[in-house]
Amino acid sequence: MAIGKYYVSPFRWSKSVWVISIVTTLVLIGIGFMYLLIPDAEMGRERYLLMMLMVPFPAIVFCTSPRYLCLYGNELIIKRWVGRVTIYTKDIISIEEADRSVILRSKRTMGNGGMFGYFGHFHSRLYGKYRMFAGELSNLYLIRTSKQAYVISCQNKELIEALKEKIK
């Protein structure tokens, strides 16, 4: 939807992202609390360390997951729950639809493949190194800048068209 000079597109999660997020969160928290039930003689203090790592992990991943895209002025903003990534339109070289099959074959170098979305650093033979911010693996766009490449999911065609107009 367009709001004045704003174009906003929320990242919608696919069904698989919902399932992966819920199951993984429950398993990690369950394992973390399960360590509390193990007698001290078997685990010692390691169980508290494991619990402190397992329980907050889903919250950390959630906080870094993408919420929405916003095109405002000369900035494409990828808003996360904590923080944001800003891509300046003057740095954008090209925008094209990304091939889903290329994305599926990409290697995660430091990325998340389904828990609260698809985001992080990835690599493919065709696209090279890129950062991805997606809630689903459809409506994908490859944005090449002078510094790096990004793959985003965006259901708002108006936002993409307005972005293409800004880089002409």
Out of 37-46, 84-93, 131-140, 153-162, least confident range: 37-46
Please state the rounded mean pLDDT for residues 26-34: 81
Please state the rounded mean pLDDT for residues 105-115: 92
Could you tell me the pLDDT band of residue 40, with boundaries at 50, 70 and 90?
low
| Residue 75, CA distances (Å) to 108, 136, 158 in order | 27, 23, 15
Please state the rounded mean pLDDT for residues 108-117: 92
Range of the domain at 35: 1-168
Cα–Cα distance between 60 and 116 in angstroms, integer?
11
**Would you say the C-alpha torsion 134, 140, 145, 149 has a positive or negative sign?**
positive
Is the predicted pLDDT of residue 151 greater than 90, yes or no? Answer: yes
| Residue 90, CA distances (Å) to 109, 147, 156, 167 in order | 27, 11, 21, 7
Total of domains in the chain: 1
